């Protein structure tokens, strides 16, 4: 599995057995395919490849579409071929709009915004929810279509992994979408995710409406590393020492006087974060994925918002997966972040057949 960010690509090798034990095998802090050995490249042909990208490098659009059947077909069962044709035609109609939205989000030219994954969910037959509409009779079909786009640069960097012909060992996802998908399996909607990464802070809200599920997203103009910068400016130390001081603070190993100083210092910084997050009008629990631990313990209620850590243990328990946390070289927050794309792939591989048909039919939309 590869996680692509603007700074680097992290790699990790995971395995799973029939009892749903997920085992951590190996990690690469800075993965480079061109530096890989010939033996490693050969192994790639046997492994399932999962690429998860930072939201700044990929964008998922969720859009409800409705498809009216021809009058002479409305009393006959829906066939696989008919669904493929209806979905292909409906997708073609919304494709340019979705690509324009994605290009704006990614800061890329529309022609350099490439469709890389697509799936459907929330099928409705004459407004009745069904898992698979095949063999139903209906006048109208409804569905939520997901289109995931990336930049041409990412496409060119990793195109050798993309499925062609019979090659089906590749899966591409956006990290925010993968984390929301995992949270959705253990929570009711709406679900809020705040990602605090070195490149910036963003919120993602997976919410429902009459039309179907939708991801609402936006920027929070707050930097999690402002916590460290406050130590650097107050003490006149370099970033590495500031990091060490902050870790000592988090472990409650500073003197009472210094701890009080930092408590007061961080209070204003965290108040800014809460105020800016409140403006996003999120409802329900807000899960925090952060590259730097908060100075305040979570869960924590702030006004109408409740901030929570990513629920790794709860997710594993509810979905009957098992890991040995001692083998994983990250804190639980980051382990959840790495497991989300893996589990997104796991459930995608068990997805209803119609999604696999659709990906094959819509491959032409993602071509150069």
Q: Which residue has the tokens 């399932």?
A: 48
d(C-alpha 364, C-alpha 213), whole Å = 26
pLDDT band per the 50, 70, 90 thresholds, residue 165: very low
The string of DSSP letters for 168-190 reads --EEEEEHHHHHHHHHHTTSPSP
Closest of 355, 328, 352, 350 to residue 339, by C-alpha: 328
pLDDT band per the 50, 70, 90 thresholds, residue 14: very high
Contact 180, 191 (CB under 8 A): yes
d(C-alpha 181, C-alpha 206), whole Å = 9
The runs of H, that is alpha helices, within 298-331 are 312-319
At residue 366, the pLDDT reads: 46
Tokens of 334: 């980051």
Contact 91, 99 (CB under 8 A): no
Domains defined along the chain, listed by start:
187-310 (3.30.420.40)
Closest of 336, 296, 290, 293 to residue 313, by C-alpha: 336
d(C-alpha 15, C-alpha 367), whole Å = 32
Q: Which residue has the tokens 């403006």?
A: 279
At residue 253, the pLDDT reads: 93
pLDDT(109) > 90: yes
Closest of 196, 176, 179, 193 to residue 273, by C-alpha: 196
Least confident of 50-59, 216-225, 230-239, 355-364: 355-364
At residue 357, the pLDDT reads: 65
Q: What is the pLDDT of residues 280-289, one digit of tens each?
A: 999 888 999 9
Q: Tell how far CA 5 is from the center of its chain.
A: 13
Q: What is the pLDDT of residues 171-222, one digit of tens each?
A: 889 999 999 999 999 999 999 999 999 988 999 999 886 656 788 999 999 9
At residue 210, the pLDDT reads: 64
d(C-alpha 121, C-alpha 358), whole Å = 12
d(C-alpha 179, C-alpha 170), whole Å = 19
Which neighbouring-strand residues pair with 215? 206
Tokens of 48: 């399932």
| 3 state SS of 294 | coil
If residue 262 lies in a helix (H) or strand (E), which one and from where to where? helix 256-278
Tokens of 52: 């998860």
Neighbours of 351 (CB within 10 A): 13
């Amino acid at each position: 599995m590869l996680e692509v960010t603007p700074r680097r690509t992290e790699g990790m090798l995971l395995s799973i057995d029939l009892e749903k034990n997920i085992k951590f095998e190996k990690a690469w802090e800075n993965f480079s395919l061109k530096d890989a050995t010939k033996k490693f490249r050969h192994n790639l042909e046997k492994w399932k490849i999962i690429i998860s990208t930072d939201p700044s490098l990929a964008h998922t659009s969720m859009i409800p579409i409705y498809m009216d059947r021809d009058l002479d077909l409305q009393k006959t069962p829906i066939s696989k071929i008919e669904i493929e044709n209806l979905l292909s035609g409906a997708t073609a109609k919304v494709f340019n709009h979705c690509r324009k939205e994605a290009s704006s989000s990614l800061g890329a030219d529309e022609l350099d915004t490439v469709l890389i994954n697509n799936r459907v969910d929330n099928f409705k037959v004459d407004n009745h929810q069904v898992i698979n509409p095949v063999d139903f009779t209906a006048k109208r079909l409804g569905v939520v279509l997901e289109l995931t786009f990336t930049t041409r640069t990412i496409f060119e960097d990793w195109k050798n992994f993309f499925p062609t012909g019979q090659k089906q060992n590749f899966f591409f996802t956006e990290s925010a979408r993968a984390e929301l998908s995992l949270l959705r399996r253990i929570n009711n909607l709406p679900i809020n995710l705040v990602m605090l990464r070195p490149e910036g802070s963003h919120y993602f809200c997976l919410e429902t409406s009459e039309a179907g599920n939708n991801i609402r997203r936006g920027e929070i103009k707050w930097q999690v590393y402002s916590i460290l910068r406050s130590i650097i400016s107050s003490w006149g130390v370099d970033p590495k020492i500031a990091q060490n001081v902050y870790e000592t603070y988090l472990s409650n190993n500073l003197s009472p006087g210094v701890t009080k100083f930092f408590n007061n210092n961080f209070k204003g910084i965290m108040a800014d974060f809460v105020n800016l997050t409140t403006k996003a009008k999120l409802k329900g629990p807000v899960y925090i994925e952060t590259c730097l631990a908060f100075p305040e313990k979570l869960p924590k209620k702030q006004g109408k918002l409740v901030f929570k850590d990513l629920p790794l243990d709860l997710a594993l328990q509810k979905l009957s997966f098992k890991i040995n946390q001692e083998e994983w070289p990250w804190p639980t927050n980051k382990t959840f972040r790495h497991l989300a794309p893996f589990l997104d792939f796991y459930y995608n591989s068990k997805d209803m057949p119609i999604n696999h048909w659709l990906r094959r039919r819509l491959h032409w939309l993602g071509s150069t």
